[in-house]
Structure 1
Amino acid sequence: MNTPRFPLPDINSLPNDIKAKVLEVQEKAGFVPNVFLAFARRPAEWRAFFAYHDALMTPETAGRTSGLTKGDREMIVTTTSAANNCLYCVVAHGAILRIYEKKPQVADQVAVNHRKAEISDRQRAMLDFAMKVCLDAQSIEDADFEALQVHGFSDEDAWDIAAITAFFGLSNRMANFAGMMPNPEFYLMGRVPKVK
Protein backbone atom coordinates (compact mmCIF):
# COMPACT_ATOMS: atom_id res chain seq x y z
CA MET A 1 0.00 0.00 0.00
CA ASN A 2 1.58 3.27 -1.13
CA THR A 3 -1.25 5.60 -0.20
CA PRO A 4 -2.63 6.12 3.28
CA ARG A 5 -5.91 4.41 4.07
CA PHE A 6 -7.18 7.62 5.68
CA PRO A 7 -6.70 10.78 3.59
CA LEU A 8 -4.68 13.53 5.24
CA PRO A 9 -6.83 16.53 6.18
CA ASP A 10 -6.24 19.92 4.62
CA ILE A 11 -4.18 22.07 6.95
CA ASN A 12 -6.71 24.91 6.66
CA SER A 13 -9.48 22.66 8.00
CA LEU A 14 -7.68 22.03 11.32
CA PRO A 15 -8.60 23.63 14.65
CA ASN A 16 -6.55 26.77 15.25
CA ASP A 17 -4.31 25.32 17.98
CA ILE A 18 -3.40 22.28 15.87
CA LYS A 19 -2.96 24.36 12.72
CA ALA A 20 -0.58 26.69 14.60
CA LYS A 21 1.54 23.77 15.81
CA VAL A 22 1.64 22.17 12.35
CA LEU A 23 2.72 25.48 10.80
CA GLU A 24 5.41 25.83 13.49
CA VAL A 25 6.75 22.37 12.61
CA GLN A 26 6.62 23.21 8.90
CA GLU A 27 8.60 26.40 9.52
CA LYS A 28 11.27 24.53 11.46
CA ALA A 29 11.53 21.40 9.28
CA GLY A 30 10.69 22.88 5.88
CA PHE A 31 7.85 20.38 5.42
CA VAL A 32 4.97 18.87 7.41
CA PRO A 33 5.73 15.33 8.62
CA ASN A 34 2.77 13.15 7.64
CA VAL A 35 2.12 12.05 11.23
CA PHE A 36 1.04 15.58 12.17
CA LEU A 37 -1.72 15.57 9.57
CA ALA A 38 -2.66 11.89 9.87
CA PHE A 39 -3.50 12.16 13.57
CA ALA A 40 -5.19 15.57 13.12
CA ARG A 41 -8.28 13.85 11.71
CA ARG A 42 -9.21 13.38 15.39
CA PRO A 43 -8.23 16.59 17.19
CA ALA A 44 -8.68 15.36 20.78
CA GLU A 45 -6.48 12.34 20.08
CA TRP A 46 -3.91 14.54 18.29
CA ARG A 47 -3.65 16.77 21.36
CA ALA A 48 -3.28 13.81 23.73
CA PHE A 49 -0.77 12.05 21.47
CA PHE A 50 1.49 15.05 21.02
CA ALA A 51 1.25 16.09 24.68
CA TYR A 52 2.59 12.67 25.71
CA HIS A 53 5.08 12.66 22.83
CA ASP A 54 6.49 16.01 23.93
CA ALA A 55 6.60 14.99 27.61
CA LEU A 56 8.72 11.96 26.66
CA MET A 57 10.86 13.33 23.86
CA THR A 58 11.46 16.88 25.16
CA PRO A 59 11.12 16.56 28.96
CA GLU A 60 13.09 19.77 29.46
CA THR A 61 10.15 21.74 28.07
CA ALA A 62 8.06 20.34 30.93
CA GLY A 63 10.70 21.26 33.50
CA ARG A 64 11.91 17.67 33.92
CA THR A 65 15.45 16.42 33.52
CA SER A 66 16.38 13.08 32.00
CA GLY A 67 19.53 10.99 31.88
CA LEU A 68 18.79 10.28 28.22
CA THR A 69 20.09 12.52 25.46
CA LYS A 70 17.96 13.50 22.48
CA GLY A 71 20.00 11.04 20.44
CA ASP A 72 19.35 8.27 22.99
CA ARG A 73 15.60 8.85 22.73
CA GLU A 74 15.60 8.76 18.94
CA MET A 75 17.80 5.64 19.03
CA ILE A 76 15.21 3.88 21.20
CA VAL A 77 12.43 4.89 18.79
CA THR A 78 14.34 3.78 15.70
CA THR A 79 15.41 0.43 17.15
CA THR A 80 12.07 -0.59 18.62
CA SER A 81 10.13 0.71 15.61
CA ALA A 82 12.22 -1.60 13.42
CA ALA A 83 11.25 -4.51 15.67
CA ASN A 84 7.61 -3.48 15.15
CA ASN A 85 8.13 -3.22 11.36
CA CYS A 86 7.07 0.42 11.26
CA LEU A 87 8.43 1.97 8.09
CA TYR A 88 7.21 5.46 8.95
CA CYS A 89 8.86 5.63 12.37
CA VAL A 90 12.12 3.96 11.34
CA VAL A 91 12.58 6.40 8.45
CA ALA A 92 11.38 9.54 10.25
CA HIS A 93 13.08 8.96 13.60
CA GLY A 94 16.13 7.45 11.93
CA ALA A 95 16.58 10.78 10.15
CA ILE A 96 16.39 12.68 13.43
CA LEU A 97 18.77 10.16 15.06
CA ARG A 98 21.38 10.69 12.33
CA ILE A 99 21.20 14.43 12.89
CA TYR A 100 21.47 14.28 16.71
CA GLU A 101 24.26 11.70 16.73
CA LYS A 102 26.06 13.22 13.71
CA LYS A 103 26.55 9.67 12.39
CA PRO A 104 25.14 8.97 8.90
CA GLN A 105 25.09 5.16 9.38
CA VAL A 106 23.80 4.84 12.95
CA ALA A 107 20.06 4.65 12.16
CA ASP A 108 20.52 1.90 9.60
CA GLN A 109 22.76 -0.01 11.99
CA VAL A 110 20.46 0.08 15.02
CA ALA A 111 17.37 -0.64 12.91
CA VAL A 112 18.98 -3.83 11.58
CA ASN A 113 20.92 -5.04 14.64
CA HIS A 114 21.74 -2.76 17.56
CA ARG A 115 24.15 -5.34 18.99
CA LYS A 116 26.46 -4.91 15.99
CA ALA A 117 25.98 -1.16 15.60
CA GLU A 118 28.80 1.32 16.17
CA ILE A 119 27.37 2.66 19.43
CA SER A 120 28.63 2.86 23.00
CA ASP A 121 28.26 0.04 25.53
CA ARG A 122 25.95 2.39 27.44
CA GLN A 123 23.69 2.80 24.41
CA ARG A 124 23.76 -0.95 23.74
CA ALA A 125 22.59 -1.65 27.32
CA MET A 126 19.85 0.97 26.89
CA LEU A 127 18.67 -0.67 23.67
CA ASP A 128 18.83 -4.18 25.18
CA PHE A 129 16.43 -2.94 27.86
CA ALA A 130 14.20 -1.17 25.32
CA MET A 131 14.01 -4.27 23.13
CA LYS A 132 13.04 -6.42 26.12
CA VAL A 133 10.27 -3.94 26.95
CA CYS A 134 9.23 -3.98 23.27
CA LEU A 135 9.19 -7.75 22.80
CA ASP A 136 8.95 -9.34 26.24
CA ALA A 137 7.94 -6.74 28.84
CA GLN A 138 6.36 -9.30 31.15
CA SER A 139 9.84 -10.80 31.69
CA ILE A 140 11.49 -7.60 32.98
CA GLU A 141 13.20 -8.33 36.31
CA ASP A 142 15.68 -6.81 38.73
CA ALA A 143 18.64 -8.05 36.67
CA ASP A 144 17.47 -5.88 33.77
CA PHE A 145 17.54 -2.77 35.96
CA GLU A 146 20.95 -3.78 37.35
CA ALA A 147 22.33 -4.08 33.80
CA LEU A 148 21.27 -0.47 33.21
CA GLN A 149 22.69 0.74 36.54
CA VAL A 150 26.15 -0.56 35.55
CA HIS A 151 26.10 2.09 32.82
CA GLY A 152 24.87 4.91 35.05
CA PHE A 153 21.15 4.74 34.29
CA SER A 154 18.77 5.47 37.17
CA ASP A 155 15.36 3.93 37.76
CA GLU A 156 13.89 7.16 36.34
CA ASP A 157 15.96 6.63 33.19
CA ALA A 158 14.60 3.07 32.98
CA TRP A 159 11.10 4.52 33.19
CA ASP A 160 11.94 6.89 30.32
CA ILE A 161 13.29 4.02 28.19
CA ALA A 162 10.19 1.91 28.86
CA ALA A 163 7.74 4.79 28.35
CA ILE A 164 9.32 5.81 25.03
CA THR A 165 9.28 2.19 23.87
CA ALA A 166 5.64 1.72 24.89
CA PHE A 167 4.45 5.03 23.47
CA PHE A 168 6.06 4.38 20.12
CA GLY A 169 4.62 0.86 20.14
CA LEU A 170 1.25 2.62 19.95
CA SER A 171 2.54 5.00 17.29
CA ASN A 172 4.01 2.10 15.25
CA ARG A 173 0.73 0.24 15.28
CA MET A 174 -1.30 3.29 14.27
CA ALA A 175 1.12 4.16 11.46
CA ASN A 176 1.08 0.58 10.16
CA PHE A 177 -2.69 0.19 10.40
CA ALA A 178 -3.31 3.53 8.66
CA GLY A 179 -0.75 2.97 5.89
CA MET A 180 1.19 6.09 6.90
CA MET A 181 4.17 6.65 4.61
CA PRO A 182 7.32 8.62 5.43
CA ASN A 183 7.77 11.98 3.76
CA PRO A 184 10.44 11.78 1.02
CA GLU A 185 12.45 14.49 2.81
CA PHE A 186 13.28 12.12 5.68
CA TYR A 187 15.30 9.70 3.58
CA LEU A 188 18.33 11.94 3.01
CA MET A 189 18.29 13.94 6.24
CA GLY A 190 21.51 13.52 8.21
CA ARG A 191 23.17 11.36 5.57
CA VAL A 192 25.17 14.05 3.83
CA PRO A 193 26.56 17.28 5.29
CA LYS A 194 24.46 20.39 4.72
CA VAL A 195 25.83 22.79 2.16
CA LYS A 196 26.43 26.15 3.80
Structure 2
Amino acid sequence: MSDKPISRFPIPDINELPKDIKTVILDVQEKSGFIPNVFLALAHRPDEFRAFFAYHDALMEKESGLSKGEREMIVVATSSANQCIYCVVAHGAILRIREKNPLIADQVAANYRKADITPRQKAMLDFAIKVSQRAYEVGDTDYELLRGHGFTDEDIWDIGAISAFFGLSNRMVNLTSMRTNDEFYLLGRLP
Protein backbone atom coordinates (compact mmCIF):
# COMPACT_ATOMS: atom_id res chain seq x y z
CA MET A 1 0.00 0.00 0.00
CA SER A 2 1.15 3.49 -0.79
CA ASP A 3 1.98 6.04 1.85
CA LYS A 4 1.41 8.89 -0.64
CA PRO A 5 -1.54 11.20 0.00
CA ILE A 6 -4.95 10.33 -1.44
CA SER A 7 -5.61 13.93 -2.49
CA ARG A 8 -4.00 17.33 -2.30
CA PHE A 9 -7.08 18.43 -0.31
CA PRO A 10 -7.87 17.33 3.25
CA ILE A 11 -9.40 13.90 3.78
CA PRO A 12 -12.03 14.04 6.52
CA ASP A 13 -12.06 11.62 9.41
CA ILE A 14 -14.72 9.05 8.51
CA ASN A 15 -16.13 9.22 12.04
CA GLU A 16 -16.77 12.95 11.66
CA LEU A 17 -18.69 12.69 8.39
CA PRO A 18 -22.46 13.15 8.15
CA LYS A 19 -24.20 9.85 8.90
CA ASP A 20 -25.52 9.30 5.36
CA ILE A 21 -22.06 9.71 3.81
CA LYS A 22 -20.39 7.56 6.45
CA THR A 23 -22.99 4.84 5.75
CA VAL A 24 -22.32 4.97 2.00
CA ILE A 25 -18.57 4.71 2.53
CA LEU A 26 -18.83 1.83 5.01
CA ASP A 27 -21.24 -0.02 2.69
CA VAL A 28 -18.77 0.30 -0.17
CA GLN A 29 -15.96 -0.90 2.08
CA GLU A 30 -17.98 -3.94 3.14
CA LYS A 31 -18.85 -4.79 -0.46
CA SER A 32 -15.40 -4.29 -1.99
CA GLY A 33 -13.09 -4.98 0.94
CA PHE A 34 -11.55 -1.49 0.81
CA ILE A 35 -12.61 2.14 0.50
CA PRO A 36 -12.02 3.53 -2.98
CA ASN A 37 -10.13 6.79 -2.58
CA VAL A 38 -12.71 8.72 -4.61
CA PHE A 39 -15.18 8.34 -1.74
CA LEU A 40 -12.72 9.70 0.81
CA ALA A 41 -11.50 12.54 -1.41
CA LEU A 42 -14.97 13.75 -2.40
CA ALA A 43 -16.21 13.54 1.20
CA HIS A 44 -14.20 16.74 1.69
CA ARG A 45 -17.36 18.48 0.44
CA PRO A 46 -20.44 16.56 1.62
CA ASP A 47 -23.06 18.30 -0.56
CA GLU A 48 -20.98 17.74 -3.67
CA PHE A 49 -20.32 14.13 -2.61
CA ARG A 50 -24.07 13.48 -2.45
CA ALA A 51 -24.75 15.12 -5.81
CA PHE A 52 -21.83 13.37 -7.51
CA PHE A 53 -22.75 9.88 -6.35
CA ALA A 54 -26.48 10.40 -6.95
CA TYR A 55 -25.78 11.27 -10.59
CA HIS A 56 -23.16 8.52 -10.88
CA ASP A 57 -25.63 5.91 -9.67
CA ALA A 58 -28.44 7.27 -11.88
CA LEU A 59 -26.20 6.82 -14.93
CA MET A 60 -24.27 3.68 -14.08
CA GLU A 61 -26.73 1.48 -12.19
CA LYS A 62 -29.97 1.73 -14.16
CA GLU A 63 -31.31 -0.79 -16.63
CA SER A 64 -31.21 0.30 -20.26
CA GLY A 65 -30.02 -0.66 -23.72
CA LEU A 66 -26.41 -0.44 -22.53
CA SER A 67 -24.95 -3.26 -20.50
CA LYS A 68 -23.09 -2.41 -17.31
CA GLY A 69 -19.92 -3.54 -19.08
CA GLU A 70 -20.57 -1.14 -21.97
CA ARG A 71 -21.05 1.69 -19.50
CA GLU A 72 -17.64 0.88 -18.02
CA MET A 73 -16.12 0.79 -21.52
CA ILE A 74 -17.31 4.36 -22.00
CA VAL A 75 -15.69 5.39 -18.72
CA VAL A 76 -12.38 3.69 -19.52
CA ALA A 77 -12.15 5.04 -23.09
CA THR A 78 -13.08 8.62 -22.21
CA SER A 79 -10.94 8.61 -19.06
CA SER A 80 -7.99 7.46 -21.14
CA ALA A 81 -8.58 10.32 -23.58
CA ASN A 82 -8.73 12.70 -20.59
CA GLN A 83 -5.54 11.21 -19.09
CA CYS A 84 -7.25 10.25 -15.84
CA ILE A 85 -5.20 7.46 -14.27
CA TYR A 86 -7.60 6.94 -11.36
CA CYS A 87 -10.65 6.34 -13.54
CA VAL A 88 -8.80 4.23 -16.12
CA VAL A 89 -7.46 1.94 -13.40
CA ALA A 90 -10.53 1.83 -11.13
CA HIS A 91 -13.12 1.52 -13.88
CA GLY A 92 -10.80 -0.74 -15.82
CA ALA A 93 -11.02 -3.14 -12.88
CA ILE A 94 -14.81 -2.89 -12.87
CA LEU A 95 -14.86 -3.44 -16.66
CA ARG A 96 -12.73 -6.59 -16.34
CA ILE A 97 -15.09 -7.91 -13.68
CA ARG A 98 -18.32 -7.00 -15.52
CA GLU A 99 -17.10 -8.49 -18.81
CA LYS A 100 -15.29 -11.42 -17.16
CA ASN A 101 -12.37 -10.60 -19.43
CA PRO A 102 -8.91 -9.78 -17.97
CA LEU A 103 -7.70 -8.23 -21.25
CA ILE A 104 -10.47 -5.86 -22.25
CA ALA A 105 -9.75 -2.85 -20.01
CA ASP A 106 -6.14 -2.49 -21.15
CA GLN A 107 -7.23 -2.80 -24.79
CA VAL A 108 -9.97 -0.19 -24.43
CA ALA A 109 -7.70 2.19 -22.53
CA ALA A 110 -4.81 1.91 -24.99
CA ASN A 111 -6.79 1.98 -28.26
CA TYR A 112 -10.43 0.88 -28.25
CA ARG A 113 -10.42 0.91 -32.08
CA LYS A 114 -8.11 -2.14 -31.96
CA ALA A 115 -9.76 -3.78 -28.94
CA ASP A 116 -11.59 -7.10 -29.11
CA ILE A 117 -15.03 -5.48 -28.94
CA THR A 118 -17.94 -5.41 -31.38
CA PRO A 119 -18.40 -2.85 -34.18
CA ARG A 120 -21.46 -1.63 -32.24
CA GLN A 121 -19.31 -1.00 -29.17
CA LYS A 122 -16.65 0.78 -31.27
CA ALA A 123 -19.35 3.10 -32.67
CA MET A 124 -20.55 3.72 -29.11
CA LEU A 125 -17.02 4.63 -28.01
CA ASP A 126 -16.43 6.82 -31.08
CA PHE A 127 -19.48 8.82 -30.04
CA ALA A 128 -18.47 8.89 -26.36
CA ILE A 129 -15.02 10.22 -27.28
CA LYS A 130 -16.57 12.82 -29.56
CA VAL A 131 -18.81 14.01 -26.71
CA SER A 132 -15.83 14.03 -24.36
CA GLN A 133 -13.44 15.87 -26.65
CA ARG A 134 -15.53 17.70 -29.27
CA ALA A 135 -19.16 17.81 -28.18
CA TYR A 136 -19.70 20.92 -30.31
CA GLU A 137 -19.32 18.68 -33.42
CA VAL A 138 -22.12 16.23 -32.48
CA GLY A 139 -24.85 16.22 -35.11
CA ASP A 140 -27.52 14.26 -36.94
CA THR A 141 -24.98 12.01 -38.68
CA ASP A 142 -23.77 10.75 -35.30
CA TYR A 143 -27.31 9.86 -34.25
CA GLU A 144 -28.02 8.10 -37.56
CA LEU A 145 -24.84 6.06 -37.24
CA LEU A 146 -25.69 4.98 -33.69
CA ARG A 147 -29.29 4.16 -34.63
CA GLY A 148 -27.86 2.00 -37.43
CA HIS A 149 -26.12 -0.03 -34.72
CA GLY A 150 -29.39 -0.50 -32.82
CA PHE A 151 -29.03 2.26 -30.24
CA THR A 152 -32.19 4.11 -29.24
CA ASP A 153 -32.31 7.83 -28.53
CA GLU A 154 -32.36 6.98 -24.81
CA ASP A 155 -29.21 4.86 -25.27
CA ILE A 156 -27.56 7.75 -27.11
CA TRP A 157 -28.43 10.06 -24.22
CA ASP A 158 -26.87 7.54 -21.82
CA ILE A 159 -23.66 7.30 -23.87
CA GLY A 160 -23.34 11.09 -23.98
CA ALA A 161 -24.30 11.60 -20.34
CA ILE A 162 -21.78 9.02 -19.10
CA SER A 163 -19.08 10.61 -21.23
CA ALA A 164 -19.94 14.10 -19.99
CA PHE A 165 -20.22 13.05 -16.34
CA PHE A 166 -16.86 11.33 -16.40
CA GLY A 167 -15.37 14.41 -18.04
CA LEU A 168 -16.26 16.14 -14.77
CA SER A 169 -14.97 13.23 -12.74
CA ASN A 170 -11.69 13.07 -14.70
CA ARG A 171 -11.10 16.75 -14.21
CA MET A 172 -11.80 16.60 -10.47
CA VAL A 173 -9.47 13.63 -10.09
CA ASN A 174 -6.69 15.49 -11.90
CA LEU A 175 -7.44 18.73 -9.99
CA THR A 176 -7.11 16.94 -6.66
CA SER A 177 -4.23 14.64 -7.70
CA MET A 178 -6.39 11.77 -6.48
CA ARG A 179 -4.38 8.62 -6.00
CA THR A 180 -5.67 5.29 -7.27
CA ASN A 181 -6.04 2.53 -4.67
CA ASP A 182 -3.44 -0.18 -5.16
CA GLU A 183 -6.22 -2.79 -4.87
CA PHE A 184 -7.72 -1.76 -8.23
CA TYR A 185 -4.66 -2.74 -10.25
CA LEU A 186 -5.12 -6.48 -9.79
CA LEU A 187 -8.92 -6.77 -9.62
CA GLY A 188 -10.41 -8.90 -12.38
CA ARG A 189 -7.07 -9.95 -13.82
CA LEU A 190 -6.97 -13.48 -12.42
CA PRO A 191 -9.82 -15.90 -11.65
Q: Does 1:12 align with 2:10?
A: no
Partner of 2:142: 144
CA deviation profile, 1:46-102 (whole Å, cap 9, x unmatched)? 00000000000012xxxxx41000000000000000000001000000000000011
The 5-angstrom pairing of residues 105-116 of structure 1 reads: 105-116=103-114
Q: Does 1:119 align with 2:117?
A: yes
3-state SS in 2 of match to 1:152: coil
Partner of 1:62: none
3-state SS in 1 of match to 2:113: coil
Q: Report deviation, 1:6.
A: 1.2
CA deviation profile, 1:14-61 (whole Å, cap 9, x unmatched)? 1000000100000000000000010001111100000000000012xx
Partner of 2:89: 91
Q: Which runs of 5+ in 1 are unaligned?
A: 60-64
**Distance in 1 of aligned mates of 2:11 and 2:104:** 31
CA deviation profile, 1:152-187 (whole Å, cap 9, x unmatched)? 100110000000000000000000010101100000
Choose the corresponding residue for 1:24, options 16, 21, 27. 27
Q: How many residues align?
A: 187
| Alignment RMSD | 0.8
**Distance in 1 of aligned mates of 2:178 and 2:167:** 15
**Distance in 1 of aligned mates of 2:106 and 2:12:** 31
**Distance in 2 of aligned mates of 1:95 and 1:130:** 20
Work out the percentage of aligned pairs sharing the same amino acid: 67
Partner of 1:53: 56
Letter in 1 for 2:169: S
Q: Report deviation, 1:7.
A: 3.0
3-state SS in 2 of match to 1:41: coil
TM-score, structure 1 length as denominator? 0.93
3-state SS in 2 of match to 1:115: helix
